[in-house]
């Protein structure tokens, strides 16, 4: 009897060892992990060189790790166990009572290099500013804090928030932009001036929410009106209708926890009280009929993609009101709620995301369309980057 049990157990082990790799290979496709928010490894193709140097076998191991059968279910169970144990950090997310925060390792370094980098970058924006001014337009850089900076005081005191680093970047860049005479809005200082309202950023996502974005929009429009000598007129808060969706909100940080953290976040939608007809084109595709991508019902989970339907390479919104000015916004995902709130104030609103857009350089695009206002929106962690939306020519 004992021998039969041993043989049966051995057979089960062999079956699992055979079945799991086969199920992994034949039941998965290359793609991205929704919860981990990253690309998954593709099936490697062996070559003589990669087989001989061992690289192929390492690639196979990575592929199996990324595509192992029932991987999401297994990781979700593991995440639930770690949350139940009240671990401080789960899946590189620091879990506090009120917020989900990025986990950083403890490391400090000399920030003296930031001054030279900031000066070089500000000089590039000075050239861009001059390009816009040459045809009579106005340029402004809207700099926003990332959520780890906004909620730096929420970190356990034995964990590093990297506030020392983002503060160094922000101060060096603000000074350099001022020295170059480039219009720059430091939204960290603006939020500080009103007490850093906790309800201006999502608790479980990397971005500001509608209230935080609207405050940024109000600050930006006031700055643009001042730059243009008071010729820009725009809607006030009382001109919008605001409603909060009942749907659960799945933020980017909570996705890394498989949505298991109980979030209080909700999505608020703001639309003009006065109907403003518009047409929208995404990536040369006409007939996009929405600004806010609303759910089909009140129960489906929503996410940051409600704003404009998520990141787009190019979006053009036209309202057929030629008496109003035009605006171009470019930047990363922090532009999305700003686009959804800004467009009612302009005849034409264009937005670009140079992580995806390759049709023209920024200078070529500006030269062709000559928007009255050109706005760059970036978070402080990307101020000094030269790639993607860090382009200035």
pLDDT digits (tens, 9 = 90+) for 96-115: 888 888 877 767 678 889 99
pLDDT digits (tens, 9 = 90+) for 52-67: 677 766 776 667 666 6
Q: How far apart are CA 83 and CA 149, in angstroms?
A: 24
For β-strands 184-186 and 138-144, DSSP reports them as parallel
Backbone angle region of 350, left / alpha / beta, with phi > 0 → left and psi within -120 to 50 → alpha: beta
Give the chain's mean pLDDT.
88
Span 271-289, pLDDT tens digits: 999 999 999 999 988 889 9
Tokens standing for residue 347: 């005849």
Given the DSSP bridges, would you call strands 240-244 and 184-186 parallel, antiparallel or unpaired? unpaired
The model's pTM = 0.84
Length of the chain, please?
393
Cα distance between residue 217 and residue 223, in whole Å: 10
* Alpha helix positions (H), the chain: 2-26, 48-52, 55-67, 71-84, 113-134, 147-150, 163-180, 187-193, 210-227, 252-255, 335-342, 362-369
304: burial class by Cβ within 10 Å (0-12, 13-18, 19+)? buried
- Structure token digits, residue 112: 């003296």
| pLDDT value at 334 more than 70 | yes
Q: Return the percentage of the chain with pLDDT > 90, whole number.
A: 68
């Amino acid at each position: 009897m004992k021998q039969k049990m041993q043989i049966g157990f051995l057979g089960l082990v062999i079956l699992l060892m055979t079945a799991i790799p086969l199920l992994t290979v034949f039941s998965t496709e290359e793609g991205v992990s929704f919860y981990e928010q990253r690309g998954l490894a593709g099936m490697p193709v062996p070559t003589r060189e990669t087989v001989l140097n061992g690289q192929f076998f390492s690639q196979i191991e990575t592929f199996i790790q990324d595509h192992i059968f029932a991987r999401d279910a297994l990781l979700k169970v593991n995440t639930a166990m770690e949350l139940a144990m009240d671990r401080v950090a789960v899946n590189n997310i620091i879990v506090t009572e009120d917020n989900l925060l990025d986990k950083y390792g403890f490391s400090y370094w000399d920030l003296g290099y930031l001054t030279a980098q900031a000066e070089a970058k500000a000089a590039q924006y000075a050239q861009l500013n001059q390009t816009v001014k040459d045809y009579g337009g106005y340029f402004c850089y809207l700099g926003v804090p990332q959520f780890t900076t906004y909620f730096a005081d929420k970190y356990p005191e034995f964990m590093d928030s990297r506030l020392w680093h983002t503060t160094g970047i922000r101060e060096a860049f603000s000074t350099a932009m001022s020295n170059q005479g480039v219009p720059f809005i430091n939204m960290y200082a603006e939020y500080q001036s009103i007490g850093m309202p906790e309800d201006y950023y999502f608790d479980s996502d990397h971005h500001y929410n509608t209230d935080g974005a609207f405050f940024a929009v109000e600050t930006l429009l006031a700055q643009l009106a001042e730059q243009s000598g008071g010729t820009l007129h725009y809607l006030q808060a009382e001109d919008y209708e605001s409603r909060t969706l009942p749907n659960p909100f799945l933020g980017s940080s909570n996705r890394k926890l498989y949505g298991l953290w109980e979030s209080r976040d909700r999505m608020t939608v703001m639309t003009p009280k006065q109907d403003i007809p518009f047409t929208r084109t995404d990536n040369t595709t006409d007939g996009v009929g929405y600004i806010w991508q609303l759910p089909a019902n009140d129960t489906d989970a929503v996410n940051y993609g409600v704003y404009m339907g998520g990141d787009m390479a190019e979006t053009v919104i036209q309202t057929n009101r030629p008496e109003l000015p035009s605006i171009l916004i470019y930047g990363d995902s922090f532009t999305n709620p700003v686009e959804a709130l800004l467009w009612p104030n302009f005849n034409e609103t264009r937005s670009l995301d140079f992580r995806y857009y390759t049709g023209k350089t920024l200078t070529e695009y500006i030269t062709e369309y000559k928007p009255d206002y050109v706005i760059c929106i970036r978070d402080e962690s990307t101020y000094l980057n030269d790639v993607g939306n860090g382009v200035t020519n």
